[in-house]
Structure 1
Amino acid sequence: MPPNSRRIRVGGVLVPGLVDHHVHTDQIDLAALLAAGVTGVRDLGSPPESGLALATRSPHDPGLPHVVTAGPFLTAPGGYPADRAWAAEGSYREVRDTADAARAVAHLAARGAGLIKVALNADAGPVLGDAELRAVVGAAERAGLPVVAHAEGAGQAQKALLAGVGELAHTPWTHRLPDELIRAFAARTHWTSTLDIHGRGTDTAERMRAVDNLRRFHRMGGRVRYGTDLGNGPLPSGVNVRELEALSDAGLSATRILASIAVSAMDLAVLPGDPLTDPLMTSRVTAVVRAGRYMDVVQTHHTDAMRTRMGPVSAVVRTPCRAT
């Protein structure tokens, strides 16, 4: 430890920084999200001046969560989200053929994208053809970038799997997937949860299908990431308790829920109790260390606020607590 480091004693449990694996940075207040205890986000679709600029700035900015971004969606001409009012100019790029697919990926990689997002929403319009999708995946592999797919509509999840896409941006919710398909997904992919967008606290048919698909995916060994689709309608800023409850409904233990969200190697979160015994504990963040700076998280009934103690911190020491 450097000789001039400050030592801070906190009551509670230290975990890696908490990450929301599905947000849209042009639709949310990132400073408020950090104030609520989330130290990292994956931006799955935004204009370059939002996501890509923030990805460059955020690693060393203690006032923002750490941002990893896909930049704009890659989609078919006229495909989703071109028809959506919320899709700002530059938030999607139309891919016209296999050569254009390779160019699009190379351009995003050169600008600092940390992953590639493809839109496969057959319910909303045209989708990428098999050849174009494989070209995106191949170019991303050569660039060392994972590919995440928004798969919606009959056959789109399977199409993503067959093309080599490594992650779904949402747990499938439009259809109950057969066990043999879920088993193949579990062997090869991650799923980001986003269960609470289906009803936001109401047990809708879409939520029940998604929870059922995720339960079987998890039971078969599939790897789950906590994500909320923050920016998509009225969702709470911070760790979404309803998302955690839905993960628990899908059969994830407290340990697995923690593993799905507490993953940032560069930041820390302080929790008031043991998250290995309480699956909702990660929603009760009391402090974070972000880019070397310690910040108290003050939660109230109406809003979350953060007050920053002066100076960076090199080490945080917790008081003794029971571990399991």
Structure 2
Amino acid sequence: MTTHLSPGRGAVYPGFLDAHVHLALIDPVMLPSGGIARVLDLGGWLPDGPRPSMPDLAYAHQFVTVPGGYPSRADWAEPAWTCAVSGAADAAGAVDLQAAAGASVLKITLNSEAGPVLGGEALLALVGRAHHRGLPVVAHAEGAGEAERAFSAGVDAFAHTPFSERLGDDLVNAMAGRMTWISTLDIHGWGSRTAAFEIASDNLRRFHGSGGRVLYGTDLGNGPLRLGLNLREIVALLGAGLTPDDVLAALCSSAPLGLTVADTRVTFVPGERPRDPGAFADWLVTARALTRPELEELA
């Protein structure tokens, strides 16, 4: 996974991925200079022409929800960013609409704390149609019981580590057998530890300990987050039991959720990787994403 340049120069990794961003809410051209080479946009964005300075990406297009469901009432979301599904009969059309827009993943919202949520039949129909179209399904699950509902319906990944409630060990173990969780720990307080941060960290520690697959993600666009690698997110992952090598694996996934994300850049971290795990996060956030010609010039 790692290519080392001449002694002391640095290390080269597959392009670091942020698996939860909202490009419509940020200036994405800033991400490569902060170490992010690839992104997964999870709602609200469509390509508007060539932008070679942006990271490589895959995207979900609209948030699929029910009429009045999250985030249709949020002040940060444009009306066109959501696709309302009233029932199971609407599911195929909603999924096909995202696929026609070039989406390679379906984003479903199940936020019972912010409004109505999809019923069981509609949820199953959406997941079934998405899988029929070859699209993995990522869910925003918030509110008591919503994570379990999503898992039972066959959702492939959580956009956020579950944070509304402590999940039971048996459920976490079952989820670890077939799901991917995107981390997004730092959004719970942005460095000021909250109850949601503690719940999410505990859930993630047990999920990872049971062999569950974790992807690095920040929900970039949500709150005061750096445009690039997030030091606090990395520290939180380490605090949840991931080793430095586990964090690198969460950043370097070659096929996140089975998706093909172009890899025109690699990520370069200058200097020697510290042997002290406590210094790892500070070293890692000095990374920048480089095209291969840029890397050749550096070498």
Q: Same fold (TM over 0.5)?
A: yes
Instruction: Return the offset for 1:65.
Output: 0.6
2:290 counterpart residue number? 289
1:53 counterpart residue number? 47
> 1:146 and 2:145 equivalent?
no
1:269 counterpart residue number? 267
Instruction: Return the offset for 1:317.
Output: 8.1
1:81 counterpart residue number? 71
What is the CA–CA distance in structure 2 between the aligned matches of 1:192 and 1:241, rounded to whole Å? 16
Q: How does 1:215-230 map to 2 (within 5 A)?
A: 215-230=205-220
The change in CA–CA distance for 1:317 and 1:275 in structure 2 (over 3 A counts) is farther
What is the CA–CA distance in structure 2 between the aligned matches of 1:207 and 1:269, rounded to whole Å? 28
Q: How does 1:125-136 map to 2 (within 5 A)?
A: 125-136=115-126
Instruction: Return the offset for 1:82.
Output: 1.2
1:111 counterpart residue number? 101
> SS in structure 2 opposite 1:53?
coil
Mean Cα displacement is larger for which, 99-108 or 176-185? 99-108
Instruction: Return the offset for 1:263.
Output: 3.1
Q: TM-score, normalising length from structure 1?
A: 0.82
What is the CA–CA distance in structure 1 between the aligned matches of 2:188 and 2:275, rounded to whole Å? 27
Instruction: Return the offset for 1:276.
Output: 8.3
- Unaligned ranges ≥5, structure 2: 255-261
Q: Is the 8 A contact 1:190 1:222 kept in 2?
A: yes
Return the match for 1:122 from 109, 112, 119: 112
The change in CA–CA distance for 1:317 and 1:86 in structure 2 (over 3 A counts) is closer
Q: How many residues align?
A: 282
Q: Is the 8 A contact 2:157 2:182 kept in 1?
A: yes
> SS in structure 1 opposite 2:92?
helix
1:299 counterpart residue number? none
The change in CA–CA distance for 1:154 and 1:108 in structure 2 (over 3 A counts) is same
What is the CA–CA distance in structure 1 between the aligned matches of 2:217 and 2:274, rounded to whole Å? 18
Write the letter of the residue equivalent to 1:209.
I
What is the CA–CA distance in structure 2 between the aligned matches of 1:277 and 1:102, rounded to whole Å? 51
2:24 counterpart residue number? 26
Instruction: Return the offset for 1:35.
Output: 2.3
The change in CA–CA distance for 1:269 and 1:41 in structure 2 (over 3 A counts) is same
1:321 counterpart residue number? none
The change in CA–CA distance for 1:276 and 1:119 in structure 2 (over 3 A counts) is farther
Cα deviation digits, residues 285-314 of structure 1 (max 9, x gap): 1x4323x452xxxxxxxxxxxxxxxxxx7x
Q: Is the 8 A contact 1:255 1:275 kept in 2?
A: no
Write the letter of the residue equivalent to 1:15.
Y
Instruction: Return the offset for 1:89.
Output: 2.3
> 1:258 and 2:248 equivalent?
yes
Instruction: Return the offset for 1:269.
Output: 1.0
Write the letter of the residue equivalent to 2:286.
R
Q: Is the 8 A contact 1:119 1:149 kept in 2?
A: yes
2:158 counterpart residue number? 168
- Unaligned ranges ≥5, structure 1: 1-7, 295-312, 319-324
Q: How does 1:223-242 map to 2 (within 5 A)?
A: 223-242=213-232
Cα deviation digits, residues 216-248 of structure 1 (max 9, x gap): 000011100000001011111110000000000
Write the letter of the residue equivalent to 1:35.
S
> SS in structure 2 opposite 1:203?
coil
What is the CA–CA distance in structure 1 between the aligned matches of 2:267 and 2:234, rounded to whole Å? 17
> SS in structure 2 opposite 1:258?
helix
The change in CA–CA distance for 1:67 and 1:277 in structure 2 (over 3 A counts) is farther
The change in CA–CA distance for 1:53 and 1:169 in structure 2 (over 3 A counts) is same
Q: Is the 8 A contact 1:122 1:152 kept in 2?
A: yes
The change in CA–CA distance for 1:52 and 1:274 in structure 2 (over 3 A counts) is same
Q: TM-score, normalising length from structure 2?
A: 0.89
Aligned residues: CA RMSD: 2.0
What is the CA–CA distance in structure 1 between the aligned matches of 2:293 and 2:129, rounded to whole Å? 37
Mean Cα displacement is larger for which, 182-191 or 101-110? 101-110
Structure whose CA Rg is larger = 1
Write the letter of the residue equivalent to 2:195.
A
Runs of 4 or more consecutive aligned structure 1 residues displaced over 6 Å after TM superposition: none
Q: Is the 8 A contact 2:183 2:218 kept in 1?
A: yes
More strand, by proportion: 1
Q: Is the 8 A contact 2:72 2:79 kept in 1?
A: no
Write the letter of the residue equivalent to 2:240.
A
Mean Cα displacement is larger for which, 66-75 or 93-102? 93-102
The change in CA–CA distance for 1:269 and 1:211 in structure 2 (over 3 A counts) is same
